[in-house]
Amino acid sequence: MTSAIGLTAFWVTALITLLGATLGETKKYTLNEPDIPFPPARPVLQNLANICLQSQSRPRYPNSFFPASGFSYFRRLGSTINRLESWYSLCCSGLVAQQTIQILCCTQQAWKQALSRFCIDEFSVKTSPYECCEYKDEERWTCFNSQLPNPHYFGKPGYTSPPMPAEPGFSFNPTACMN
Protein backbone atom coordinates (compact mmCIF):
# COMPACT_ATOMS: atom_id res chain seq x y z
CA MET A 1 0.00 0.00 0.00
CA THR A 2 2.82 2.36 0.87
CA SER A 3 4.47 1.79 -2.49
CA ALA A 4 1.18 2.59 -4.28
CA ILE A 5 0.96 5.93 -2.45
CA GLY A 6 4.61 6.62 -3.17
CA LEU A 7 4.16 5.73 -6.83
CA THR A 8 1.07 7.95 -7.08
CA ALA A 9 2.94 10.84 -5.45
CA PHE A 10 5.80 10.33 -7.89
CA TRP A 11 3.47 10.47 -10.91
CA VAL A 12 1.61 13.51 -9.59
CA THR A 13 4.93 15.30 -9.05
CA ALA A 14 6.13 14.28 -12.50
CA LEU A 15 2.90 15.51 -14.11
CA ILE A 16 3.04 18.85 -12.31
CA THR A 17 6.66 19.26 -13.34
CA LEU A 18 5.92 18.46 -16.98
CA LEU A 19 2.84 20.65 -17.16
CA GLY A 20 4.72 23.55 -15.62
CA ALA A 21 7.80 23.11 -17.79
CA THR A 22 8.29 24.92 -21.08
CA LEU A 23 9.78 21.80 -22.65
CA GLY A 24 13.14 23.22 -23.64
CA GLU A 25 11.87 26.61 -24.76
CA THR A 26 12.95 29.75 -23.04
CA LYS A 27 10.52 32.46 -22.17
CA LYS A 28 11.24 35.43 -24.40
CA TYR A 29 10.12 38.14 -21.98
CA THR A 30 9.52 38.49 -18.28
CA LEU A 31 7.66 41.13 -16.34
CA ASN A 32 10.86 43.09 -15.68
CA GLU A 33 11.88 43.38 -19.32
CA PRO A 34 10.82 46.31 -21.53
CA ASP A 35 7.96 45.82 -23.96
CA ILE A 36 9.32 46.93 -27.33
CA PRO A 37 7.12 46.06 -30.31
CA PHE A 38 9.62 44.38 -32.59
CA PRO A 39 10.02 43.67 -35.45
CA PRO A 40 8.45 46.59 -37.26
CA ALA A 41 6.26 45.72 -40.25
CA ARG A 42 7.42 46.19 -43.81
CA PRO A 43 5.98 49.41 -45.23
CA VAL A 44 3.19 48.77 -47.73
CA LEU A 45 0.49 50.99 -49.19
CA GLN A 46 -1.96 49.78 -46.51
CA ASN A 47 0.16 51.04 -43.59
CA LEU A 48 1.96 53.98 -45.24
CA ALA A 49 -0.52 56.64 -44.07
CA ASN A 50 -0.11 55.49 -40.45
CA ILE A 51 3.67 55.36 -40.81
CA CYS A 52 3.67 59.02 -41.82
CA LEU A 53 0.73 60.43 -39.89
CA GLN A 54 0.93 58.58 -36.55
CA SER A 55 4.68 58.79 -36.08
CA GLN A 56 4.57 61.03 -33.00
CA SER A 57 2.17 58.68 -31.23
CA ARG A 58 4.41 55.62 -31.51
CA PRO A 59 6.90 54.98 -28.69
CA ARG A 60 10.55 55.95 -28.80
CA TYR A 61 13.20 54.52 -26.54
CA PRO A 62 15.63 57.10 -25.16
CA ASN A 63 18.46 55.89 -22.92
CA SER A 64 16.40 56.90 -19.89
CA PHE A 65 13.83 54.24 -20.84
CA PHE A 66 16.27 51.48 -19.86
CA PRO A 67 17.88 50.61 -16.53
CA ALA A 68 21.40 51.97 -16.01
CA SER A 69 23.01 48.61 -16.77
CA GLY A 70 22.10 45.48 -18.65
CA PHE A 71 19.32 45.02 -21.17
CA SER A 72 21.68 45.46 -24.12
CA TYR A 73 19.45 43.30 -26.35
CA PHE A 74 16.48 45.57 -25.62
CA ARG A 75 18.64 48.63 -26.15
CA ARG A 76 19.46 47.32 -29.64
CA LEU A 77 15.75 46.82 -30.33
CA GLY A 78 14.94 50.32 -29.08
CA SER A 79 17.78 51.89 -31.06
CA THR A 80 16.52 50.18 -34.20
CA ILE A 81 13.00 51.50 -33.66
CA ASN A 82 14.36 55.02 -32.96
CA ARG A 83 16.53 54.89 -36.09
CA LEU A 84 13.68 53.63 -38.23
CA GLU A 85 11.24 56.26 -36.97
CA SER A 86 13.81 58.97 -37.66
CA TRP A 87 14.34 57.70 -41.19
CA TYR A 88 10.58 57.34 -41.77
CA SER A 89 10.21 60.99 -40.77
CA LEU A 90 12.71 61.93 -43.45
CA CYS A 91 10.81 59.90 -46.05
CA CYS A 92 7.44 61.36 -45.01
CA SER A 93 8.64 64.96 -44.77
CA GLY A 94 8.55 65.56 -48.51
CA LEU A 95 12.25 66.46 -48.55
CA VAL A 96 13.39 63.30 -50.32
CA ALA A 97 10.18 62.10 -51.96
CA GLN A 98 6.90 63.78 -52.87
CA GLN A 99 4.73 61.15 -54.55
CA THR A 100 3.14 58.29 -52.62
CA ILE A 101 5.02 55.64 -54.57
CA GLN A 102 8.34 57.38 -53.85
CA ILE A 103 7.48 57.78 -50.16
CA LEU A 104 6.64 54.07 -50.04
CA CYS A 105 9.91 53.20 -51.76
CA CYS A 106 11.81 55.45 -49.35
CA THR A 107 10.19 53.89 -46.26
CA GLN A 108 10.89 50.40 -47.59
CA GLN A 109 14.55 51.31 -48.07
CA ALA A 110 14.66 52.82 -44.57
CA TRP A 111 13.11 49.62 -43.16
CA LYS A 112 15.67 47.39 -44.87
CA GLN A 113 18.62 49.62 -43.94
CA ALA A 114 17.53 49.87 -40.29
CA LEU A 115 17.03 46.12 -39.96
CA SER A 116 20.32 45.42 -41.77
CA ARG A 117 22.07 47.67 -39.27
CA PHE A 118 20.26 45.85 -36.45
CA CYS A 119 21.63 42.55 -37.77
CA ILE A 120 25.15 43.97 -37.95
CA ASP A 121 24.77 45.03 -34.32
CA GLU A 122 23.39 41.60 -33.41
CA PHE A 123 26.38 39.81 -34.93
CA SER A 124 28.79 42.13 -33.12
CA VAL A 125 27.89 40.72 -29.69
CA LYS A 126 28.68 37.31 -28.29
CA THR A 127 25.11 36.12 -27.97
CA SER A 128 22.83 34.33 -30.38
CA PRO A 129 21.61 36.80 -33.00
CA TYR A 130 17.97 37.55 -33.63
CA GLU A 131 16.61 34.65 -35.69
CA CYS A 132 15.81 36.68 -38.83
CA CYS A 133 19.37 38.00 -39.01
CA GLU A 134 20.60 34.52 -39.84
CA TYR A 135 18.73 34.61 -43.16
CA LYS A 136 19.86 36.37 -46.33
CA ASP A 137 18.10 38.52 -48.91
CA GLU A 138 14.33 38.09 -49.26
CA GLU A 139 14.20 35.30 -46.66
CA ARG A 140 15.46 37.81 -44.07
CA TRP A 141 12.80 40.39 -44.98
CA THR A 142 10.05 37.77 -45.00
CA CYS A 143 11.16 36.61 -41.56
CA PHE A 144 11.17 40.15 -40.17
CA ASN A 145 7.73 40.76 -41.65
CA SER A 146 6.18 37.80 -39.80
CA GLN A 147 4.71 37.74 -36.28
CA LEU A 148 4.28 41.50 -36.20
CA PRO A 149 3.19 43.24 -33.02
CA ASN A 150 1.92 46.37 -34.86
CA PRO A 151 1.54 45.68 -38.60
CA HIS A 152 -0.58 48.78 -39.19
CA TYR A 153 1.76 51.17 -37.32
CA PHE A 154 -1.01 52.37 -35.04
CA GLY A 155 0.02 54.94 -32.49
CA LYS A 156 -0.74 54.78 -28.77
CA PRO A 157 -3.71 56.99 -27.91
CA GLY A 158 -2.65 59.87 -25.71
CA TYR A 159 1.07 59.23 -26.21
CA THR A 160 3.41 61.79 -27.71
CA SER A 161 6.94 60.63 -28.43
CA PRO A 162 9.77 62.57 -26.83
CA PRO A 163 12.01 64.64 -29.09
CA MET A 164 14.75 62.41 -30.43
CA PRO A 165 17.84 63.38 -32.38
CA ALA A 166 17.84 62.64 -36.10
CA GLU A 167 19.65 59.40 -36.85
CA PRO A 168 22.39 59.68 -39.47
CA GLY A 169 23.20 56.98 -41.98
CA PHE A 170 20.13 56.72 -44.20
CA SER A 171 20.51 57.25 -47.90
CA PHE A 172 17.44 57.11 -50.14
CA ASN A 173 18.09 55.83 -53.65
CA PRO A 174 15.25 57.09 -55.89
CA THR A 175 16.49 55.08 -58.85
CA ALA A 176 15.79 51.88 -56.92
CA CYS A 177 12.10 52.80 -57.04
CA MET A 178 11.96 52.22 -60.76
CA ASN A 179 12.01 48.44 -60.31
pLDDT digits (tens, 9 = 90+) for 70-105: 788 999 999 999 999 999 999 999 888 788 999 999
Q: What is the pLDDT of residues 3-16, one digit of tens each?
A: 555 444 444 444 33
Q: Which long-range contacts (CB under 8 A, 24 or more apart) does 64-67 make?
A: 65/34, 66/34
As a whole number of angstroms, the distance between CA 167 and CA 84 comes to 8
Report pTM: 0.79
For the chain, helix (H) and strand (E) counts, in that order, are 5, 0
Tell me how far apart the alpha carbons of residues 23 and 2 are, in angstroms, rounded to a whole number: 31
Running along the chain, 179 residues long, what does each successive block of 10 average in pLDDT? 49 38 38 85 97 96 84 93 97 86 96 97 92 96 95 95 93 85
Closest CA to 156 of 50, 77, 31: 50
Query: What is the model's pLDDT at position 64?
Result: 87
CB atoms within 10 A of CB 68: 7
Which one, of 43, 55, 48, 122, lies nearest residue 86 by Cα? 55
| One-letter identity of residue 139 | E
